Amino acid sequence: MKTKEINLDGIPTLPGIDMLDAMQRLNGDWTLYKMVFRSFHQRHASTATTIEAHIGQGELKSAARLAHNLKGTSGNLAATGLFCQAGKLESTCLGGDSVQALALPQDLRLQLEEVMSGIALMDDDEPVTSAEKRAETKLLDRGVLSELLDRLQGCIETDQGEAQACLKKLRHELQGAAHAEKLENIEACMNRFDTDETIVNISQLKADLL
Amino acid sequence: MSDKYRILIVDDSTDDIHFVLENLKQDYAVLVATSGEKALEMAIKEPRPDVILMDVEMPGMNGYDTCRQVKNTPETSDIDVIFVSAHDSTDEKLAGYDAGGSDYLIKPVQTSELLQKVKLAIKDKQARAAVEADKAMAMETAMTAISSAGEQGVVVNFMKNSFSVTSIEELARLVVDATSSYGLESSVQLRATSGPVNASSNEPIPPLEQELLSKLKDVGRLKESGARFIGNFGGVTQLIKNMPEDEDKRGRLRDHLALLLEGAEARLHALEIQQQLAQVVVDSNQTLQDIEAMQQQQKQTSMQIMDDVMKHLEASFMSYGLTEEQEVLLLKVVQDGVDKSLTNFEQGMMIDEKMRDIIRSLERFSQT
């Protein structure tokens, strides 16, 4: 199977991350990587502490489950060291050795902190392209918007890739418009794969626009 | 509706979903469920996914239980389930296998491996679909053969029963009944020397239909138009009003009906000969009886004449002046002549008996 050539120009090197591997996993989509990384940052900020607490209370299975989740996502993010450490902790907890397990969260915390520190290296905003700047001044084409919103609603449960493509076009159409915030809500729901909430937000935006 | 194959990703970690989605969205229509329960809901809904990529550790229903439910639901049992988990032990893989999974991928999933496994699952599904299609085709062929054998049985039964009919009316009814076995409404006309005989699945046969049957004998051997079928075999014409639309069935019935009508025509011909022969026997018997009566009459008349001649001769002896010896001799000559004449009549009666034997043989032959 052929792997896509990945260009790392303009992409910062993040601590604890194999950037080439990470970018290859997401077809070089740096924006998407940032989004996933932020979500990871949010979800796992206190994971090391929680795992430590579970081990302390003898809840090794719960600790193992958390370590397992952390291992999965850190592997996808190409946080190699964290992935290994989480795996080690998971298998120790599953083995039932609470004494040895108690010694591991500290290393996990260090690995996690290293990876998490990368958040500071990420730009918050994407540079606005000249085409997008031009879009700010244009009038909204309600026909096009209506069609795009209908398409988005139609494929949100059946084709996420198509839904993302529709969202991208909508973002372009609504660039700088007053309704851009509502579109962000839709995007957030889509990123959580919450289809029910996405549909509610699409309906609201349609009502506002049309 | 997209004609792409559909992949359902089931994972409670939205971060992990993005990684898989990103690698599949170009080539596949990707559906996403963030729980086992939601996955079951989505899997059963049309359009159904072709492959499910299933995480194992999920709150609520875990991946194994979800897979088991997918496999135990008739509508979704054919969907391939590939487990995608950070669990990498053989025990876990066995658990996945036991749950009905077809493959197992370890997180973090390598893009090339993911694409390869999904492609393989799709290929397997296509192969299974092809086998299913072959099986369905084989079953259809078998059913057609069984059905055709049943249809041919109608023709065989008709042939068998046609040998025992003794009248053209019975034969016409037999043709209609055999045709009804195919679920067809028909009317038939058998044209005998004595005149046409009609029968229909809808009795009494309306005059217009009778008239049509007489006219349709000239339209050619087999003629079809819409649901109508007309068959002409010699003196047999059949009109069917409800031929099926299914082209295969229609073709088979056409063949069976042609055989049936051909058989009916042969039997009609035989019945005609049989009936003509029976008439010949009746006529011959009557003629023979007439001849016999005439012969008896002739015998009696001849005997009366002979008797008169004898009496006249005896009365004449007085005037002839013959000796007694001459008279006896003369009477003997005449009496011998009378006796020979009687013997001759008796022989004529034996010829009658011989002719009666021939007629009896003909009678037996005409009844077979």
Q: Please tell me the distance from the alpha carbon of residue B102 to that of residue B51, in angstroms, as a whole number.
A: 10
Chain B contacts in chain A segment 31-90 (CB below 8 A) = 32, 35-36, 39-40, 43, 65, 68-69, 71-73, 75-78, 83, 87, 90
Please give the class, per CATH, of domain B6-128: alpha beta
Helix (H) or strand (E) holding B282, with range, is: helix B247-320
Within a 10 A sphere around the Cβ of A182, how many other Cβ atoms? 18
Q: Please tell me the distance from the alpha carbon of residue B244 to that of residue B257, in angstroms, as a whole number.
A: 13
Q: Please tell me the distance from the alpha carbon of residue B196 to that of residue B236, in angstroms, as a whole number.
A: 10
Cross-chain Cβ contact A159/B2 below 8 Å: yes
Q: Residues of B with CB below 8 A from A41's CB?
A: none
**Do A101 and A71 fall into the same domain?**
yes
Residues B319-333 pLDDT 10s:
877 888 888 888 888
> What is the per-residue pLDDT for B176?
92
- Last residue of some domain: A64, A94, A121? A121
Domain boundaries, chain B: 6-128, 144-273, 275-367
**Do A156 and A182 fall into the same domain?**
yes
**Do A154 and A109 fall into the same domain?**
no
SS3 content of chain A, % helix, strand, coil (to 5): 70, 0, 30
Residue of B nearest to A165 (CA): B25
**Do A170 and A77 fall into the same domain?**
no
> Which of A68, A159, A164 is nearest residue B29 as measured by Cβ atoms?
A159
Q: Which of A160-174, B69-83, B86-100 has the lowest mean pLDDT?
A: B86-100
- Any B CB within 8 A of A191 CB: yes
pLDDT exceeds cutoff 50 at B160: yes
> What is the per-residue pLDDT for B97?
84
Helix (H, G, I), strand (E, B) or coil at B206: coil
pLDDT exceeds cutoff 90 at B98: no
**Do A49 and A117 fall into the same domain?**
yes
Q: Which residues of B fall below an 8 Å CB-CB distance to A? A: 2, 4, 6, 13-19, 21-26, 28-34, 42, 47, 55, 57, 85-87, 107-109, 111-113, 115-116
Number of domains chain A is built from: 2
pLDDT, averaged across chain B: 86
Q: Which of A135-139, B44-48, B351-355 has the lowest mean pLDDT?
A: A135-139
Residues B4-43 pLDDT 10s:
999 999 999 999 999 999 999 999 999 999 999 999 999 9
CATH of the domain at A53: 1.20.120
pLDDT exceeds cutoff 80 at B144: no
pLDDT exceeds cutoff 70 at A133: no
Q: Is residue A1 part of a domain?
A: no
Residues A186-196 pLDDT 10s:
999 999 999 99
**Do A106 and A135 fall into the same domain?**
no
What is the DSSP secondary-structure string of A72-94?
HHHHHTT-HHHHHHHHHHHHHHH
**Do A81 and A147 fall into the same domain?**
no
pLDDT exceeds cutoff 60 at B133: yes
- Last residue of some domain: A121, A140, A160? A121
CA distances from B66 to A86, B69, B114, B121 (A): 26, 5, 21, 18
Q: Is residue A60 part of a domain?
A: yes
Q: In the predicted model, what is the mean pLDDT of residues A163-173?
A: 91
**Do A108 and A153 fall into the same domain?**
no
Q: In the predicted model, what is the mean pLDDT of residues B184-198?
A: 89
Q: Which residue has the tokens 């066995």?
A: B94
Domain of A48, in residue numbers: 19-121
> Which of A2, A72, A87 is nearest residue B13 as measured by Cβ atoms?
A72
**Do A134 and A173 fall into the same domain?**
yes
Nearest-CA distance from B28 to chain A in Å? 8
Q: Is residue A103 part of a domain?
A: yes
Residues B295-323 pLDDT 10s:
788 878 888 888 888 888 888 877 877 88
Fold (CATH) for B144-273: Beta-Lactamase (3.30.450)
Name the band, by pLDDT with cuts 50, 70 and 90, for residue A137.
very low
**Do A86 and A149 fall into the same domain?**
no
Q: Residues of B with CB below 8 A from A65's CB?
A: 57
Q: In the predicted model, what is the mean pLDDT of residues A1-13?
A: 74
Q: Is residue A168 part of a domain?
A: yes
**Do A117 and A139 fall into the same domain?**
no
pLDDT, averaged across chain A: 86
**Do A136 and A202 fall into the same domain?**
yes
